[in-house]
Structure formats: C-alpha cells, structure tokens
Structure 1
Amino acid sequence: MTVYSTPSEKNAWEYVEYLLNGNMKKFKATLGVTDEYKDTNAIARVTISADGKDIYSEEITPGNFPKALNLDINNAL
C-alpha cells in the first residue's frame, strides 16, 4: 500500500509505502494540516493506493477539521 501526498511545500514528504502481505484488514489514519500551516494557502493532495488501485483521494487544506479514515484493505499486498 502506498500513501502519496502532493504537497505545496518543498520540505514536505511525498510518499510512504507499507508492505502489507495480505495481513491487514483496515487502514486507519487522521488527515489534516498542522497548526504551523493554518494561516497559509498550503494544499496537499492525498492519494492512497493498494495493489495499484487508488482507494482514496482528497485535497487537504488549512482551516478544515482533521478527517478520520477507516479504509478496507483486506488482502491487499
């Protein structure tokens, strides 16, 4: 499973990859922008894919409440 972020800031991470081997059933996370960026126009596009298919995609912007994710990744590699 790969979590991609397209940040508007140069020092932000771009992706992180997890090897699941079909052992996980759920992916839980909280998405949001930290207080450090609350007064900016920073935008990040977050895309989560499993087995080469996008299973979640959203734009994250300052000023919005954090969003809880609970994605089904049963049997994902």
Structure 2
Amino acid sequence: MRKLVVSLYDKQWLQLFMEEAEKLNFIFRNEIIGIYHIGSNSVPGLKAKPIIDMMPVVKDINLVDTFNLEMRKIGNATKGENV
C-alpha cells in the first residue's frame, strides 16, 4: 500500500522548481519550448504532496530519449513513454 503524504505549503517549492528547470534547460538546450510548474504544490498556500511536478514542453518528442544519459546523471529515472 502506498502512503500519500500531504504537507503544508512550503515557499521553497518554487525555488526547487526553478533549480530543476534550470538543469533541464541546460540539458535540453534548444529543444525546450517551456517548462511549467504544475500540480498542487504550484499553488501558493495550498496543502500538497512535497513532490515538484513539472511539465517540460519540447520541440520534438522523438528526441527526448537521446537525453536519457544526461537525465540519469542528475538523478532522474528515465521511463520512456511510461504508459
């Protein structure tokens, strides 16, 4: 059974998002169109899971897997389409 943790809003969530977005911008360079902070912890003042949800938008989804090694180097699991 998975345990769901919900925390009081933490002002650091925005900073954590910005730090991770910077890493993704560096890795994907010109392929990134935008990176968005989504999910409940993107809403100031709202209780939320303490996990930063992000939605990167890229020019060509077919190129994303070519960045897997760099993504793993910064601690991200790569799961392909993860359907």
TM-score by length of structure 1 reads 0.28
Q: Which has the higher strand share?
A: 1
Q: Which has the higher helix share?
A: 2
Task: Work out which of the two has the higher radius of gyration on C-alpha atoms and give 1 or 2.
Answer: 2
TM-score by length of structure 2 reads 0.27
By relative contact order (CA 8 Å, sep 6+), the higher-ranking structure is 1
